[in-house]
Structure 1
Amino acid sequence: MNVPPTLPKDASKLEESIEKWSVPIGNLFVSLFHRIALFGIGAATVWSAGVAFIGMANKGAASIEDLLLLFIYLEIGAMVGIYFKTNHMPVRFLIYVAITAVTRLIIDLVNTKHEADMSILFMGITILVLALANAVVRYASYKYPSKNGISD
């Protein structure tokens, strides 16, 4: 079987031409998916926060758990906004959401059991670990900033 010697050169030209139009189209689809997903997450966050707020208004009062839930929605909204503007996921905000959620769980346990037990201690340790993780992320982003200048 005789293969012409120009075939590899022709194949690389074909590959280059396919890459010239497929990469921009792929990038466009990824960007569109990100934008649609961000709008969806943002809308769901606003909707959920609104439902929670209406529930508080109907109850006639807001408990500390309710307020912490609103802070979680605020942090998620801020995360969506930062990601929308920078295409950079702020990991610190995820840690803040986790700390706030665990704090809500501790308050709920204390309100229902009215006593301290090992689960509350473990949740406190969880908050400590998350706070240390946040400190590590902050230190790393200060010491080793990203190339585009966006710190986490």
Structure 2
Amino acid sequence: MKNPNGGSSPERFVRARLERLIGAVEVLGLVVIGLATILAMSQEGWKIIGQGEVSITDLLLMFLYLEVLAMVGRYLRLGELPVRFPLYIAMVSLARDLILRFNEATEYHVLALCAGILMLACGVLVLRYSQTRFPLADDKDAGSADQSGP
């Protein structure tokens, strides 16, 4: 028996169950990522305390962990994730790699890392500009919550 709303009852039942299962797996995965990030962050903190000194690479690594936690938190809270968050993480990761390997890196490696950071920054700029200049209908509600980001 076909339902006028598109699909039979068994079809809707299976689809609803699958959507619920996928949603639960998604939340479980985010919780695992969040807990693993907290564990890694605490391990890094203990390493810094044990060494008795903090380097810029340690700070950048801690910043990466905070960005991952912010990404997980935002996705759990709002069910959405701006594309900019992974771009920020990639920029900090490239900057950390540049600092870590600066002494032994070739000039081409340094140039490639800097070009990568510049391209990611331009990507963020284009995304921010297009989001404010050409908002989608569903971005208007999310836009006010998104203004707290960097």
The amino acid of 1:124's aligned partner reads C
**Cα separation, 1, equivalents of 2:64 and 2:137:** 27
Give the unaligned 5+ runs of structure 1: 1-9
Does 1:135 find its partner at 2:101? no
Match of 1:147 among 116, 124, 138: 138
2:116 alignment counterpart? 126
- How well do the aligned residues superpose, as a CA RMSD in angstroms? 1.8
**Cα separation, 2, equivalents of 1:108 and 1:146:** 43
Deviations 1:47-95 (A, max 9, x none): 0101111111111111100000000000000000000011112211101
1:145 Cα shift? 3.0
Aligned residues: 139
Over alpha carbons, which structure has the higher Rg? 1
Match of 1:68 among 32, 44, 60: 60
Deviations 1:87-123 (A, max 9, x none): 112211101100000001111122x33x872211111
1:6 alignment counterpart? none
1:51 alignment counterpart? 43
Q: Superposition pairs for residues 107-126 of structure 1, below 5 Å?
A: 107-110=99-102, 112-113=103-104, 117-126=107-116
1:20 Cα shift? 2.9
1:146 Cα shift? 5.2
1:17 alignment counterpart? 9
Give the unaligned 5+ runs of structure 2: none
Query: Percent identical across equivalent pairs?
Result: 29
Distance 1:146 1:131, change over 3 A: farther
**Cα separation, 1, equivalents of 2:108 and 2:14:** 56
Deviations 1:4-36 (A, max 9, x none): xxxxxx4x36x5111231222112111111111
TM-score when scaled to structure 2?
Answer: 0.84
